[in-house]
Structure 1
Protein backbone atom coordinates (compact mmCIF):
# COMPACT_ATOMS: atom_id res chain seq x y z
CA UNK A 1 0.00 0.00 0.00
CA UNK A 2 1.29 3.44 -0.96
CA UNK A 3 0.81 6.66 0.94
CA UNK A 4 -1.47 9.26 -0.59
CA UNK A 5 -0.41 12.86 -1.25
CA UNK A 6 -2.59 13.97 1.66
CA UNK A 7 -0.84 11.53 4.00
CA UNK A 8 2.55 12.79 2.82
CA UNK A 9 1.48 16.33 3.68
CA UNK A 10 0.35 15.11 7.09
CA UNK A 11 3.84 13.73 7.66
CA UNK A 12 5.31 17.16 6.90
CA UNK A 13 2.94 18.66 9.48
CA UNK A 14 3.93 15.90 11.91
CA UNK A 15 7.64 16.71 11.59
CA UNK A 16 6.97 20.43 12.11
CA UNK A 17 4.95 19.62 15.23
CA UNK A 18 8.01 17.79 16.53
CA UNK A 19 10.25 20.85 16.15
CA UNK A 20 11.84 20.12 12.77
CA UNK A 21 11.71 23.57 11.18
CA UNK A 22 13.91 23.17 8.10
CA UNK A 23 12.22 21.89 4.96
CA UNK A 24 15.25 20.01 3.62
CA UNK A 25 15.46 18.03 6.88
CA UNK A 26 11.68 17.56 6.94
CA UNK A 27 11.85 16.09 3.42
CA UNK A 28 14.44 13.51 4.45
CA UNK A 29 12.43 12.53 7.52
CA UNK A 30 9.15 12.35 5.58
CA UNK A 31 10.81 10.11 3.01
CA UNK A 32 12.12 7.85 5.78
CA UNK A 33 8.76 7.72 7.58
CA UNK A 34 6.83 7.07 4.36
CA UNK A 35 9.05 4.14 3.39
CA UNK A 36 8.87 2.69 6.89
CA UNK A 37 5.07 3.03 7.09
CA UNK A 38 4.71 1.21 3.79
CA UNK A 39 6.93 -1.58 5.12
CA UNK A 40 4.83 -1.77 8.30
CA UNK A 41 1.66 -2.04 6.23
CA UNK A 42 3.08 -5.06 4.41
CA UNK A 43 3.03 -7.05 7.65
CA UNK A 44 0.13 -5.25 9.34
CA UNK A 45 -2.19 -4.07 6.55
CA UNK A 46 -5.07 -3.33 8.90
CA UNK A 47 -3.22 -0.63 10.82
CA UNK A 48 -4.43 2.92 10.37
CA UNK A 49 -2.09 5.55 8.98
CA UNK A 50 -1.77 7.24 12.38
CA UNK A 51 -0.94 3.98 14.17
CA UNK A 52 1.66 3.00 11.57
CA UNK A 53 3.16 6.50 11.75
CA UNK A 54 3.41 6.32 15.54
CA UNK A 55 5.11 2.92 15.38
CA UNK A 56 7.62 4.32 12.92
CA UNK A 57 8.19 7.44 15.02
CA UNK A 58 8.93 5.37 18.16
CA UNK A 59 11.88 3.84 16.33
CA UNK A 60 13.62 7.22 16.58
CA UNK A 61 13.91 6.75 20.33
CA UNK A 62 13.18 8.93 23.35
CA UNK A 63 14.47 12.13 21.77
CA UNK A 64 12.48 11.71 18.57
CA UNK A 65 13.90 13.62 15.61
CA UNK A 66 16.47 15.55 17.66
CA UNK A 67 19.32 13.12 16.96
CA UNK A 68 18.54 13.10 13.24
CA UNK A 69 18.52 16.90 13.09
CA UNK A 70 21.87 17.01 14.91
CA UNK A 71 23.38 14.46 12.53
CA UNK A 72 22.06 16.42 9.56
CA UNK A 73 23.64 19.63 10.84
CA UNK A 74 26.99 17.87 11.24
CA UNK A 75 26.74 16.40 7.74
CA UNK A 76 25.90 19.76 6.20
CA UNK A 77 28.67 21.51 8.11
CA UNK A 78 31.13 18.97 6.75
CA UNK A 79 29.79 19.53 3.25
CA UNK A 80 30.15 23.32 3.54
CA UNK A 81 33.74 23.08 4.70
CA UNK A 82 34.49 20.84 1.73
CA UNK A 83 32.96 23.46 -0.55
CA UNK A 84 34.97 26.23 1.12
CA UNK A 85 38.17 24.22 0.82
CA UNK A 86 37.57 23.27 -2.82
CA UNK A 87 37.04 26.88 -3.85
CA UNK A 88 39.89 28.13 -1.68
CA UNK A 89 42.23 25.67 -3.42
CA UNK A 90 41.28 27.22 -6.76
CA UNK A 91 43.08 30.38 -5.68
CA UNK A 92 46.36 28.47 -5.59
CA UNK A 93 46.02 27.17 -9.14
CA UNK A 94 46.21 28.91 -12.50
CA UNK A 95 44.88 31.42 -13.37
CA UNK A 96 43.79 32.56 -9.88
CA UNK A 97 47.25 31.94 -8.42
CA UNK A 98 48.39 35.06 -10.29
CA UNK A 99 45.83 37.17 -8.47
CA UNK A 100 46.74 35.48 -5.18
CA UNK A 101 50.42 36.37 -5.69
CA UNK A 102 49.43 39.94 -6.55
CA UNK A 103 47.36 40.27 -3.35
CA UNK A 104 50.16 38.75 -1.28
CA UNK A 105 52.75 41.09 -2.83
CA UNK A 106 50.50 44.10 -2.27
CA UNK A 107 50.06 43.28 1.41
CA UNK A 108 53.80 42.59 1.77
CA UNK A 109 54.61 46.05 0.42
CA UNK A 110 51.90 47.58 2.63
CA UNK A 111 53.30 45.93 5.76
CA UNK A 112 56.76 47.33 4.98
CA UNK A 113 55.43 50.84 4.40
CA UNK A 114 55.13 53.36 7.21
CA UNK A 115 51.56 53.88 5.97
CA UNK A 116 50.91 50.15 5.98
CA UNK A 117 48.55 50.11 8.94
CA UNK A 118 46.33 52.70 7.22
CA UNK A 119 46.23 50.67 4.00
CA UNK A 120 45.36 47.49 5.87
CA UNK A 121 42.76 49.28 7.95
CA UNK A 122 41.14 50.75 4.80
CA UNK A 123 41.13 47.33 3.13
CA UNK A 124 39.35 45.74 6.07
CA UNK A 125 36.85 48.59 6.26
CA UNK A 126 35.99 48.12 2.57
CA UNK A 127 35.55 44.39 3.13
CA UNK A 128 33.41 45.04 6.18
CA UNK A 129 31.09 47.51 4.44
CA UNK A 130 30.73 45.33 1.34
CA UNK A 131 30.19 42.25 3.48
CA UNK A 132 27.47 43.93 5.51
CA UNK A 133 25.68 44.97 2.31
CA UNK A 134 25.86 41.40 0.98
CA UNK A 135 24.77 39.98 4.33
CA UNK A 136 21.76 42.31 4.34
CA UNK A 137 20.83 41.17 0.83
CA UNK A 138 21.15 37.50 1.78
CA UNK A 139 19.12 37.99 4.94
CA UNK A 140 16.45 39.92 3.02
CA UNK A 141 16.18 37.17 0.38
CA UNK A 142 16.12 34.55 3.13
CA UNK A 143 13.19 36.24 4.91
CA UNK A 144 11.28 36.82 1.65
CA UNK A 145 11.62 33.19 0.67
CA UNK A 146 10.37 31.97 4.05
CA UNK A 147 7.44 34.38 3.88
CA UNK A 148 6.43 33.45 0.32
CA UNK A 149 6.99 29.68 0.50
CA UNK A 150 6.62 28.95 4.21
CA UNK A 151 9.78 26.84 3.95
CA UNK A 152 13.05 27.26 5.82
CA UNK A 153 16.23 25.63 4.51
CA UNK A 154 19.03 24.50 6.81
CA UNK A 155 21.65 24.80 4.07
CA UNK A 156 20.78 28.41 3.37
CA UNK A 157 20.54 29.36 7.03
CA UNK A 158 23.89 27.77 7.90
CA UNK A 159 25.64 29.55 5.03
CA UNK A 160 24.16 32.86 6.14
CA UNK A 161 25.37 32.14 9.67
CA UNK A 162 28.82 31.28 8.32
CA UNK A 163 28.94 34.67 6.59
CA UNK A 164 28.06 36.43 9.83
CA UNK A 165 30.62 34.40 11.77
CA UNK A 166 33.31 35.38 9.31
CA UNK A 167 33.00 39.00 10.40
CA UNK A 168 34.28 38.09 13.87
CA UNK A 169 37.70 37.74 12.24
CA UNK A 170 37.74 41.38 11.11
CA UNK A 171 37.83 43.04 14.56
CA UNK A 172 40.69 40.71 15.55
CA UNK A 173 42.69 41.85 12.54
CA UNK A 174 41.87 45.49 13.23
CA UNK A 175 43.41 45.07 16.68
CA UNK A 176 46.49 43.51 15.09
CA UNK A 177 46.82 46.45 12.71
CA UNK A 178 46.77 48.99 15.51
CA UNK A 179 49.40 46.94 17.29
CA UNK A 180 51.79 47.64 14.42
CA UNK A 181 52.53 51.08 15.79
CA UNK A 182 53.49 49.59 19.17
CA UNK A 183 56.06 47.18 17.80
CA UNK A 184 59.76 47.68 17.43
CA UNK A 185 60.59 49.09 13.98
CA UNK A 186 63.16 46.37 13.30
CA UNK A 187 60.49 43.75 13.95
CA UNK A 188 57.94 45.42 11.66
CA UNK A 189 60.35 45.52 8.76
CA UNK A 190 61.74 42.02 9.30
CA UNK A 191 61.04 39.48 6.59
CA UNK A 192 59.25 36.95 8.78
CA UNK A 193 56.90 39.57 10.18
CA UNK A 194 55.90 41.07 6.84
CA UNK A 195 55.48 37.67 5.22
CA UNK A 196 53.32 36.45 8.09
CA UNK A 197 51.09 39.52 8.01
CA UNK A 198 50.81 39.44 4.22
CA UNK A 199 49.87 35.75 4.32
CA UNK A 200 47.21 36.36 6.98
CA UNK A 201 45.57 39.15 5.04
CA UNK A 202 45.77 37.27 1.74
CA UNK A 203 43.97 34.30 3.28
CA UNK A 204 41.46 36.67 4.86
CA UNK A 205 40.61 38.20 1.47
CA UNK A 206 40.26 34.78 -0.17
CA UNK A 207 38.13 33.47 2.68
CA UNK A 208 35.97 36.57 2.58
CA UNK A 209 35.29 36.14 -1.15
CA UNK A 210 34.46 32.44 -0.82
CA UNK A 211 32.06 32.96 2.12
CA UNK A 212 30.34 36.09 0.79
CA UNK A 213 30.20 35.37 -2.94
CA UNK A 214 30.80 31.69 -3.67
CA UNK A 215 28.92 29.88 -0.92
CA UNK A 216 25.55 31.62 -1.41
CA UNK A 217 25.64 30.79 -5.13
CA UNK A 218 26.69 27.22 -4.40
CA UNK A 219 23.84 26.89 -1.91
CA UNK A 220 21.34 28.00 -4.55
CA UNK A 221 22.78 25.49 -7.01
CA UNK A 222 22.70 22.58 -4.54
CA UNK A 223 19.21 23.32 -3.26
CA UNK A 224 17.75 23.84 -6.74
CA UNK A 225 19.29 20.56 -7.90
CA UNK A 226 18.15 18.47 -4.92
CA UNK A 227 14.89 20.24 -4.05
CA UNK A 228 12.82 21.54 -7.00
CA UNK A 229 10.65 23.40 -4.47
CA UNK A 230 13.53 25.77 -3.82
CA UNK A 231 13.27 28.93 -5.92
CA UNK A 232 14.73 32.38 -5.58
CA UNK A 233 12.26 35.13 -4.78
Structure 2
Protein backbone atom coordinates (compact mmCIF):
# COMPACT_ATOMS: atom_id res chain seq x y z
CA UNK A 1 0.00 0.00 0.00
CA UNK A 2 1.47 3.33 -1.08
CA UNK A 3 1.57 6.26 1.32
CA UNK A 4 -0.19 9.46 0.33
CA UNK A 5 1.61 12.78 -0.10
CA UNK A 6 0.24 13.96 3.25
CA UNK A 7 1.43 10.79 4.98
CA UNK A 8 4.91 11.13 3.48
CA UNK A 9 5.01 14.74 4.68
CA UNK A 10 4.08 13.49 8.16
CA UNK A 11 6.96 10.98 8.03
CA UNK A 12 9.33 13.74 6.89
CA UNK A 13 8.37 15.90 9.87
CA UNK A 14 8.77 12.87 12.14
CA UNK A 15 12.33 12.38 10.89
CA UNK A 16 13.10 16.06 11.49
CA UNK A 17 11.74 15.76 15.03
CA UNK A 18 14.46 13.20 15.76
CA UNK A 19 17.06 15.99 15.45
CA UNK A 20 18.12 14.89 11.98
CA UNK A 21 19.13 18.35 10.77
CA UNK A 22 20.96 17.49 7.54
CA UNK A 23 18.77 17.69 4.45
CA UNK A 24 20.33 14.79 2.53
CA UNK A 25 19.89 12.52 5.56
CA UNK A 26 16.31 13.69 6.05
CA UNK A 27 15.55 12.67 2.45
CA UNK A 28 17.36 9.34 2.79
CA UNK A 29 15.82 8.41 6.14
CA UNK A 30 12.35 9.43 4.96
CA UNK A 31 12.73 7.12 1.96
CA UNK A 32 13.80 4.24 4.22
CA UNK A 33 10.92 4.87 6.61
CA UNK A 34 8.33 5.17 3.85
CA UNK A 35 9.56 1.99 2.15
CA UNK A 36 9.45 0.09 5.44
CA UNK A 37 5.95 1.35 6.22
CA UNK A 38 4.65 0.41 2.78
CA UNK A 39 6.08 -3.11 3.16
CA UNK A 40 4.46 -3.51 6.59
CA UNK A 41 1.12 -2.19 5.35
CA UNK A 42 1.26 -4.49 2.32
CA UNK A 43 1.57 -7.51 4.63
CA UNK A 44 -1.10 -6.33 7.09
CA UNK A 45 -3.58 -3.86 5.51
CA UNK A 46 -5.67 -3.88 8.68
CA UNK A 47 -3.17 -1.80 10.62
CA UNK A 48 -3.72 1.92 11.14
CA UNK A 49 -1.24 4.51 9.90
CA UNK A 50 0.04 5.15 13.43
CA UNK A 51 0.55 1.42 14.02
CA UNK A 52 2.44 1.06 10.76
CA UNK A 53 4.60 4.06 11.61
CA UNK A 54 5.41 2.69 15.04
CA UNK A 55 6.24 -0.77 13.67
CA UNK A 56 8.55 0.79 11.10
CA UNK A 57 10.17 3.04 13.71
CA UNK A 58 10.88 -0.01 15.89
CA UNK A 59 13.22 -1.27 13.17
CA UNK A 60 15.46 1.76 13.58
CA UNK A 61 16.70 1.41 17.15
CA UNK A 62 20.11 0.96 18.78
CA UNK A 63 22.97 0.88 16.29
CA UNK A 64 20.39 1.06 13.50
CA UNK A 65 18.74 4.20 14.86
CA UNK A 66 18.67 7.28 12.68
CA UNK A 67 20.85 9.18 15.15
CA UNK A 68 23.46 6.40 15.15
CA UNK A 69 23.42 6.25 11.36
CA UNK A 70 23.79 10.04 11.23
CA UNK A 71 26.88 9.95 13.47
CA UNK A 72 28.36 7.08 11.47
CA UNK A 73 27.74 8.95 8.22
CA UNK A 74 29.54 12.00 9.64
CA UNK A 75 32.56 9.85 10.54
CA UNK A 76 32.60 8.28 7.06
CA UNK A 77 32.43 11.65 5.32
CA UNK A 78 35.16 12.97 7.61
CA UNK A 79 37.45 10.07 6.70
CA UNK A 80 36.73 10.50 2.99
CA UNK A 81 37.46 14.23 3.22
CA UNK A 82 40.74 13.66 5.07
CA UNK A 83 41.75 10.91 2.64
CA UNK A 84 41.06 13.16 -0.34
CA UNK A 85 43.16 15.95 1.13
CA UNK A 86 46.09 13.68 1.99
CA UNK A 87 45.97 12.25 -1.54
CA UNK A 88 46.07 15.74 -3.09
CA UNK A 89 49.00 16.79 -0.92
CA UNK A 90 50.86 13.57 -1.74
CA UNK A 91 50.54 14.45 -5.44
CA UNK A 92 52.40 17.72 -4.80
CA UNK A 93 55.20 15.73 -3.17
CA UNK A 94 55.64 13.45 -6.19
CA UNK A 95 57.18 14.10 -9.59
CA UNK A 96 56.40 16.27 -11.52
CA UNK A 97 54.38 18.46 -9.10
CA UNK A 98 57.08 18.27 -6.48
CA UNK A 99 59.18 20.50 -8.74
CA UNK A 100 56.66 23.28 -8.17
CA UNK A 101 56.74 22.66 -4.42
CA UNK A 102 60.54 22.80 -4.40
CA UNK A 103 60.58 25.99 -6.47
CA UNK A 104 58.10 27.55 -4.06
CA UNK A 105 60.39 26.64 -1.17
CA UNK A 106 63.42 28.07 -2.98
CA UNK A 107 61.62 31.33 -3.72
CA UNK A 108 60.50 31.56 -0.11
CA UNK A 109 64.08 30.95 1.04
CA UNK A 110 65.45 33.61 -1.31
CA UNK A 111 63.02 36.08 0.21
CA UNK A 112 64.73 35.70 3.59
CA UNK A 113 67.82 37.49 2.25
CA UNK A 114 65.85 40.73 1.93
CA UNK A 115 65.32 40.84 5.69
CA UNK A 116 67.93 41.82 8.22
CA UNK A 117 66.33 39.39 10.66
CA UNK A 118 65.15 36.17 8.95
CA UNK A 119 62.93 35.46 11.96
CA UNK A 120 60.76 38.46 11.07
CA UNK A 121 60.45 37.15 7.52
CA UNK A 122 59.34 33.74 8.79
CA UNK A 123 56.76 35.42 11.01
CA UNK A 124 55.34 37.15 7.93
CA UNK A 125 55.29 33.86 5.98
CA UNK A 126 53.41 31.93 8.64
CA UNK A 127 51.03 34.83 9.29
CA UNK A 128 50.15 34.84 5.58
CA UNK A 129 48.65 31.37 5.99
CA UNK A 130 45.82 33.01 7.93
CA UNK A 131 44.69 34.60 4.67
CA UNK A 132 43.16 31.23 3.80
CA UNK A 133 40.69 31.90 6.60
CA UNK A 134 38.97 34.46 4.35
CA UNK A 135 37.55 31.99 1.76
CA UNK A 136 36.97 29.40 4.49
CA UNK A 137 34.86 31.71 6.65
CA UNK A 138 33.09 33.06 3.56
CA UNK A 139 32.12 29.57 2.37
CA UNK A 140 31.12 28.49 5.86
CA UNK A 141 28.81 31.45 6.46
CA UNK A 142 27.45 31.67 2.91
CA UNK A 143 26.61 27.98 2.71
CA UNK A 144 25.55 27.36 6.30
CA UNK A 145 22.05 27.26 4.86
CA UNK A 146 21.53 26.67 1.14
CA UNK A 147 18.00 27.69 0.21
CA UNK A 148 16.93 27.05 3.79
CA UNK A 149 18.54 23.60 3.94
CA UNK A 150 21.61 22.39 5.80
CA UNK A 151 23.84 19.77 4.19
CA UNK A 152 26.19 17.47 6.05
CA UNK A 153 28.52 17.30 3.04
CA UNK A 154 29.36 21.01 3.34
CA UNK A 155 28.96 21.48 7.09
CA UNK A 156 32.36 20.20 8.20
CA UNK A 157 35.66 21.87 7.39
CA UNK A 158 37.90 19.47 9.25
CA UNK A 159 41.43 19.88 8.02
CA UNK A 160 40.88 23.34 6.60
CA UNK A 161 40.11 24.93 9.96
CA UNK A 162 42.57 22.65 11.75
CA UNK A 163 45.38 23.64 9.39
CA UNK A 164 44.56 27.33 9.71
CA UNK A 165 45.05 26.97 13.46
CA UNK A 166 47.84 24.40 13.49
CA UNK A 167 50.47 25.44 10.94
CA UNK A 168 50.61 29.22 11.58
CA UNK A 169 50.64 28.75 15.35
CA UNK A 170 53.33 26.06 15.34
CA UNK A 171 55.40 28.01 12.82
CA UNK A 172 55.16 31.25 14.81
CA UNK A 173 55.96 29.47 18.08
CA UNK A 174 59.00 27.71 16.61
CA UNK A 175 60.20 30.98 15.08
CA UNK A 176 59.90 32.66 18.46
CA UNK A 177 61.67 29.86 20.34
CA UNK A 178 64.58 29.66 17.88
CA UNK A 179 64.73 33.36 17.07
CA UNK A 180 68.44 33.72 17.88
CA UNK A 181 69.45 30.42 16.27
CA UNK A 182 67.62 31.33 13.04
CA UNK A 183 69.89 34.35 12.66
CA UNK A 184 72.95 32.08 12.49
CA UNK A 185 71.63 28.80 11.10
CA UNK A 186 70.27 28.73 7.55
CA UNK A 187 69.44 25.03 7.83
CA UNK A 188 66.91 25.99 10.48
CA UNK A 189 65.43 28.57 8.11
CA UNK A 190 65.18 25.95 5.36
CA UNK A 191 63.48 23.50 7.75
CA UNK A 192 60.89 26.07 8.78
CA UNK A 193 60.27 27.05 5.15
CA UNK A 194 59.70 23.37 4.28
CA UNK A 195 57.17 23.24 7.13
CA UNK A 196 55.57 26.40 5.74
CA UNK A 197 55.28 24.86 2.25
CA UNK A 198 53.52 21.81 3.71
CA UNK A 199 51.20 24.09 5.67
CA UNK A 200 50.46 26.08 2.53
CA UNK A 201 49.55 22.86 0.68
CA UNK A 202 47.22 21.76 3.49
CA UNK A 203 45.46 25.13 3.65
CA UNK A 204 45.14 25.52 -0.13
CA UNK A 205 43.87 21.98 -0.75
CA UNK A 206 41.44 22.34 2.14
CA UNK A 207 39.88 25.45 0.63
CA UNK A 208 39.76 23.76 -2.78
CA UNK A 209 37.97 20.69 -1.40
CA UNK A 210 35.47 22.85 0.49
CA UNK A 211 34.55 24.70 -2.72
CA UNK A 212 34.42 21.43 -4.66
CA UNK A 213 32.07 19.78 -2.15
CA UNK A 214 29.75 22.79 -2.15
CA UNK A 215 29.55 22.77 -5.95
CA UNK A 216 28.87 19.02 -5.94
CA UNK A 217 25.99 19.34 -3.47
CA UNK A 218 24.43 22.25 -5.35
CA UNK A 219 24.61 20.33 -8.61
CA UNK A 220 23.20 17.14 -7.07
CA UNK A 221 20.21 18.90 -5.51
CA UNK A 222 19.88 21.53 -8.26
CA UNK A 223 20.45 24.46 -5.92
CA UNK A 224 21.74 27.95 -6.66
State the TM bucket, normalised to the shorter chain.
0.7 to 0.9
**1:138 CA displacement:** 1.2
Aligned-pair Cα RMSD in Å: 2.7
Q: Conserved in 2, the CA contact under 8 Å of 1:23 and 1:152?
A: yes
The structure-2 alpha-carbon separation of the partners of 1:90 and 1:156, relative to structure 1 and needing over 3 Å to count, comes to same
Unaligned ranges ≥5, structure 2: none
**1:219 CA displacement:** 0.7
Q: How does 1:104-143 map to 2 (within 5 A)?
A: 104-109=105-110, 115-128=117-130, 130-143=131-144
Q: Conserved in 1, the CA contact under 8 Å of 2:119 and 2:183?
A: no
TM-score between both structures, scaled by the size of structure 1: 0.81
Unaligned ranges ≥5, structure 1: none
**1:104 CA displacement:** 2.4
Q: How does 1:24-63 map to 2 (within 5 A)?
A: 24-61=24-61
Q: Secondary structure at the match of 1:21?
A: coil
- Which has the higher mean CA deviation after the structures are superposed, 136-145 or 68-77? 136-145
**1:72 CA displacement:** 0.8
2:91 & 2:193 partners in 1: Cα distance? 19
* Equivalent residue, structure 2, for 1:102: 103
Q: Secondary structure at the match of 1:15?
A: helix
TM-score between both structures, scaled by the size of structure 2: 0.84
Q: How does 1:1-233 map to 2 (within 5 A)?
A: 1-61=1-61, 64-93=65-94, 96-109=97-110, 115-128=117-130, 130-143=131-144, 145=146, 149-159=147-157, 162-169=159-166, 170-183=168-181, 188-190=185-187, 193-212=188-207, 214-225=208-219, 227-229=220-222, 231-232=223-224
How many residues in Structure 1 have an aligned counterpart in Structure 2? 221
